[in-house]
C-alpha cells in the first residue's frame, strides 16, 4: 500500500486543477465536493498506509518517481519517503485539512461562485504543497514543498485582495518567509558540497563522521529557515498579521500545516542537531524566548483571532524548546495535540465571527446560551491548551517541560511561567466571549444563533480529538510501555537517543514537576475566570499593559531600523544614483553618438575636390607608416 503514496498529494492537486480551471463553470456544491472529496481521499489512503507502517517489522520505504536533477555526480530524485514520522504528519495534515475544508463549505458560502472555487483551489494547492514537503525523501523536494506552502500562504492570506491592508499582510508573510528560506537554501548547497548528496539516508549516515563545526553551520542555517516558516524570534511578526485571511485559512496555517513545517524539518534532521549541541542550545533558547514573549503579548489582545495567533507563536516556541532539549518525540507529540486544539479554537472563533460579524471580544459576552455547541467545544480546547489533565495538551506539554527540567531547571521555570500566562489569556478569552452579559448591539443579539452543521460537526470531531489524543502519550511513570507514540516514533529518533545522555527522571520528581505545572495552570484558569466571567475590566490598556497591547512595539522597531532605512536607501538610489548617474551615463552615450554623427556627416559634403584631398592625405599617411613604422 505504501507504494501508492503518490496518490496522497495527487488527489489535492487534481482538486486544485479542477476548481481552478473550471471555477466559472462549476456550481458551489460541486466545488465543495471536489475540494473536500480530494482531501478526504488523501486521508483514506494515508490511513491505509498507516496500518502498514505501524507494524513493528515495517522498514522505511523510498519511492522514486523520476530523476529531478541529474548533473554529473549529483543525482537528486523526485522521490517520497514513507516512515513513522511522515505518516503521522500525513494523517494530521489530511485529517485536520479535511475538517477545515468541510467547515469552509459553510463559512465561505456567501462568496461568488468563481471566488468560492478560487478559495478551494488555493486550499487544495496548499495541502498538496504541504504533503510534498512532508513526503520528500531529500532536502530539495522538501524545499519544493516548503516554497509551495509559502506561495499558497500568500494567496490565502491575501484572498480578499481588494483590501490593501490584507494585501500588505500577505506580502509581509511572503517576504519574511523568503528571508528564512535563504538560510535553508544555503544549507542545502552546503550539504551538496560536503556530502555530495541531499538524500536523507546519505546525509544522516555521513553526519557522525562530519566535523561539529560544519554540522553546526548547516543546522543553524536550517534553523534560520525554520524561524521564518514556524514564526520564531525574530521572524514571527508575519503570523499575527496573517489573520487577514479567512478564519478557516488561519486554522489551516496555524494548526496542522505551514507553521509546523520547521518542527518537522528539525525532527527529520534530528541526528544532525543532536551532533551539534551548540545549535540545540540556540534552538532551545530561541524557542523559550518566543514562547514567553508571545504569551505576554496575548495577555492584552482584544481581537479574538489575534489572541489565538500569538498563542500559536507561543506554542510553537514550546515545540522548539522540546527540539532544543532533545525531546523530539515530545515536540512532535505537541504538534499533533496542538493541531487538534488550535484548529478547534480557530474554527470556534470563526463560528463566533460568523454569528456576530465581530472580532473584538470586548463587544461579545454571554454567547454561551446562544451558541451551546461552539461554547462547549471552545471550552474543551481552552482546557487542552492550558494543560489541564486529562486533556491532550497536558500530556504533550508535560513531556516537553520534564525534558527541559532535565536539561536545565531554568528552562523549566520559564516554561511553567509561560504555561501560567497561557492558562490566563485563554480563559480571559473564553470568559470574555462566552460568559457574563452580552455586550453587543441589540441587532446582533437578535440574530445570534448556533452555526450550521457543516461548521459544528468539525468542531465536535476536533473536540473529541483534543480531549482524547493525549492518551497516545501517557507518561511511563503511570504505566510501563504506556507511551504509544514514543514506541511508534522510536525508529526515527533511535540514532539520536543512542548519542544523547538520557537520565530517566525519578518517578517522584516527575510527578512533582507535573503537579507544579498543573497547579500553576489551574491558578491561571481560576484567576482569569473570576476576573472576566461576570464584570470584566475591558478598558484600554495603560502603563505596561499598553506596551503589551502594542506588541512590545516590535513592528514599530522593525519599521524604524529596517523598513525606513531601506526605503530611504531606495529613494536615494532612485533620485540620485538612477537620475544623476545611470541616466547621465545612458543619455551621455546617446548624446555622444549624436554629436559624433553630426561631425562625421560634415565629411560627406558632396564636393569631389574634398574627396580627392582626403584620398591624397590617406595615401600620404599610409606612405609614412610604411616608411617609418615598419623600419
For the chain, give the mean pLDDT.
91
Write out pLDDT tens, residues 200-238.
999 999 999 999 999 999 999 999 999 999 989 889 999
616 is a domain residue: yes
Do residues 113 and 26 touch, judged by C-beta distance below 8 A?
yes
**What local confidence, expressed as pLDDT, does residue 505 receive?**
61
Residue 123 has a pLDDT of: 94
State whether residue 256 is helix, strand or coil. Answer: helix
Number of domains the chain contains: 1
Which residue in this structure is represented by grid cell 507518561?
A: 475
CB atoms within 10 A of CB 631: 5
pLDDT over 70 for what percent of the chain?
99
Range of the domain at 586: 559-629
What's the whole-number mean pLDDT along residues 555-564? 91
How much is the pLDDT for 502?
58
Proportion of the chain above pLDDT 90, given as a percent: 67
Mean pLDDT, rounded, for 114-133: 94
Query: Cell 477545515 appears where?
Result: 100
pLDDT for 242 equals 87
Render pLDDT for 496-516 as a digit per residue (tens, 0 to 9). 888 876 565 677 888 899 999
- pLDDT category at 612 given cuts 50, 70, 90 is confident
Question: What's the pLDDT at 504?
Answer: 58
Whether residue 604 lies inside any domain: the answer is: yes
Rounded (10°) CA dihedral 611, 612, 615, 617: -110
User: What would the grid cell of residue 53 be?
Assistant: 507502517
Torsion of CA 171, 172, 177, 182, to 10 degrees: 80
Which of 200-209, 444-453, 473-482 ranks highest by mean pLDDT?
200-209
Residue 328 lies inside a defined structural domain of this protein: no
Give, to the nearest 10 degrees, the angle between helix 277-298 and helix 304-324: 160
Mean pLDDT, rounded, for 163-191: 92
pLDDT score of 533? 84
Which of 5-14, 542-551, 597-606 shows the lowest per-residue confidence on average (mean pLDDT)?
A: 597-606
Kindly give the pairing relationship between strand 61-71 and strand 74-82: antiparallel
Whether the pLDDT of residue 158 is over 60: the answer is: yes
The pLDDT of residue 250 is 87
Domain contains 16: no
**How far apart are alpha carbons 152 and 314 in whole angstroms?**
23
CB-based burial, 360-399: b 16+ in 10 Å, e otherwise = ebbbbbbbbebbebbbbbbbbbbbbbbbbeebbbbbbbbb
Structural domain contains residue 274: no
* Cβ density class 412-427: b for 16+ within 10 Å, e for less: bebbbebbbbbbbbbb
Whether 617 is covered by a domain: the verdict is: yes
The answer as to whether 586 is a domain residue is yes
Q: What is the average pLDDT across 364-369?
A: 89
Which grid coordinates belong to 37? 472529496
In angstroms, the Cα distances linking 329 to 88, 304, 491, 494 are: 12, 31, 11, 11
d(CA 329, CA 211): 26
Residue labelled with grid coordinates 506552502: 149
Write out pLDDT tens, residues 294-332.
Answer: 999 999 999 999 999 999 999 999 999 999 999 999 999
Residue-level pLDDT at 180:
92
- Residues 6+ away with beta carbon under 8 Å from 565: none
Give pLDDT, residue 542: 75
Q: How many residues in total does the chain contain?
A: 631
Measured torsion, CA atoms of residues 578, 584, 589, 594, in degrees rounded to the nearest 10: 130
Secondary structure (H, E, C), 366-393: CCCCCCHHHHHHHHHHHHHHHCCCCCHH
Residue 232 lies in a domain: no
Query: Does residue 245 come out as left (phi exceeding 0), alpha (psi in the -120 to 50 range) or beta?
Result: beta
Amino acid at each position: 500500500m505504501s507504494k501508492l503514496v503518490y496518490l496522497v498529494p495527487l488527489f489535492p492537486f487534481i482538486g486544485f486543477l479542477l476548481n481552478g480551471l473550471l471555477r466559472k463553470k462549476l456550481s458551489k456544491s460541486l466545488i465543495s465536493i471536489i475540494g473536500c472529496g480530494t482531501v478526504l481521499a488523501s486521508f483514506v489512503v494515508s490511513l491505509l498506509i498507516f496500518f502498514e507502517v505501524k507494524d513493528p517489522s515495517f522498514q522505511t520505504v523510498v519511492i522514486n518517481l523520476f530523476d529531478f536533477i541529474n548533473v554529473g555526480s549529483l543525482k537528486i530524485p523526485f522521490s517520497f519517503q514513507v516512515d513513522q514520522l511522515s505518516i503521522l504528519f500525513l494523517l494530521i495534515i489530511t485529517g485536520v485539512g479535511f475538517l477545515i475544508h468541510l467547515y469552509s463549505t459553510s463559512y465561505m458560502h456567501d462568496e461568488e461562485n468563481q471566488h468560492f472555487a478560487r478559495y478551494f483551489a488555493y486550499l487544495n494547492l496548499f495541502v498538496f504543497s504541504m504533503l510534498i514537503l512532508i513526503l520528500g525523501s531529500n532536502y530539495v523536494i522538501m524545499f519544493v514543498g516548503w516554497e509551495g506552502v509559502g506561495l499558497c500562504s500568500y494567496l490565502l492570506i491575501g484572498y480578499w485582495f481588494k483590501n490593501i491592508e490584507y494585501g500588505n499582510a500577505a506580502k509581509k508573510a511572503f517576504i519574511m518567509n523568503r528571508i528564512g528560506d535563504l538560510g535553508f537554501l544555503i544549507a542545502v548547497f552546503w550539504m551538496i558540497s560536503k556530502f555530495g548528496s541531499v538524500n536523507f539516508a546519505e546525509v544522516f549516515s555521513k553526519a557522525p563522521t562530519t566535523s561539529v563545526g560544519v554540522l553546526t553551520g548547516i543546522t543553524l542555517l536550517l534553523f534560520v529557515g525554520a524561524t521564518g516558516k514556524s514564526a520564531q524570534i525574530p521572524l514571527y511578526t508575519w503570523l499575527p498579521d496573517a489573520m487577514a485571511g479567512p478564519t478557516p485559512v488561519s486554522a489551516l496555517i496555524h494548526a496542522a500545516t505551514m507553521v509546523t513545517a520547521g518542527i518537522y524539518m528539525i525532527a527529520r534532521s534530528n541526528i544532525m542537531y543532536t551532533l551539534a549541541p551548540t545549535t540545540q542550545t540556540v534552538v532551545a533558547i530561541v524557542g523559550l524566548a518566543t514562547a514567553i514573549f508571545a504569551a505576554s503579548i496575548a495577555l492584552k489582545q482584544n481581537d479574538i483571532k489575534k489572541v489565538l495567533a500569538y498563542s500559536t507563536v507561543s506554542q510553537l516556541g514550546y515545540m522548539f524548546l522540546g527540539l532544543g532539549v532533545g525531546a523530539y518525540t515530545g515536540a512532535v507529540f505537541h504538534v499533533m495535540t496542538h493541531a487538534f486544539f488550535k484548529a478547534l479554537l480557530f474554527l470556534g472563533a470563526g463560528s463566533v465571527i460568523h454569528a456576530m460579524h465581530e472580532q473584538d471580544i470586548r463587544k461579545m459576552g454571554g454567547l454561551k446560551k446562544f451558541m451551546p455547541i461552539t461554547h462547549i467545544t471552545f471550552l474543551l480546547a481552552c482546557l487542552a491548551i492550558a494543560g489541564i489533565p486529562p486533556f491532550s495538551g497536558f500530556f504533550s506539554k508535560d513531556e516537553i517541560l520534564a525534558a527541559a527540567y532535565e536539561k536545565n531547571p531554568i528552562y523549566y521555570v520559564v516554561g511553567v511561567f509561560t504555561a501560567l500566562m497561557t492558562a490566563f489569556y485563554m480563559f480571559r478569552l473564553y470568559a470574555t466571549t462566552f460568559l457574563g452579559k452580552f455586550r453587543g448591539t441589540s441587532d446582533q443579539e437578535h440574530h445570534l444563533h448556533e452555526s450550521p452543521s457543516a461548521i459544528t460537526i468539525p468542531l465536535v470531531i476536533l473536540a473529541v480529538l483534543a480531549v482524547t489524543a493525549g492518551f497516545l502519550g501517557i507518561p511511563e511513570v503511570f504505566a510501563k510501555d504506556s507511551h504509544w507514540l514514543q514506541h511508534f516514533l522510536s525508529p526515527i529518533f533511535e540514532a539520536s537517543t543512542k548519542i544523547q545522555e538520557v537520565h530517566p527522571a525519578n518517578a517522584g520528581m516527575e510527578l512533582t514537576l507535573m503537579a507544579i505545572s498543573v497547579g500553576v495552570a489551574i491558578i491561571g484558569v481560576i484567576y482569569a475566570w473570576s476576573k472576566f466571567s461576570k464584570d470584566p475590566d475591558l478598558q484600554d490598556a495603560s502603563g505596561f499593559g499598553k506596551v503589551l497591547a502594542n506588541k512590545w512595539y516590535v513592528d514599530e522597531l522593525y519599521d524604524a531600523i529596517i523598513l525606513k532605512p531601506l526605503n530611504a536607501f531606495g529613494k536615494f538610489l532612485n533620485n540620485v544614483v538612477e537620475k544623476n548617474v545611470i541616466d547621465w551615463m545612458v543619455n551621455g552615450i546617446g548624446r555622444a553618438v549624436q554629436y559624433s554623427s553630426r561631425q562625421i556627416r560634415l565629411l560627406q559634403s558632396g564636393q569631389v575636390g574634398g574627396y580627392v584631398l582626403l584620398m591624397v592625405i590617406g595615401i600620404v599617411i599610409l606612405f609614412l607608416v610604411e616608411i617609418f613604422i615598419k623600419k
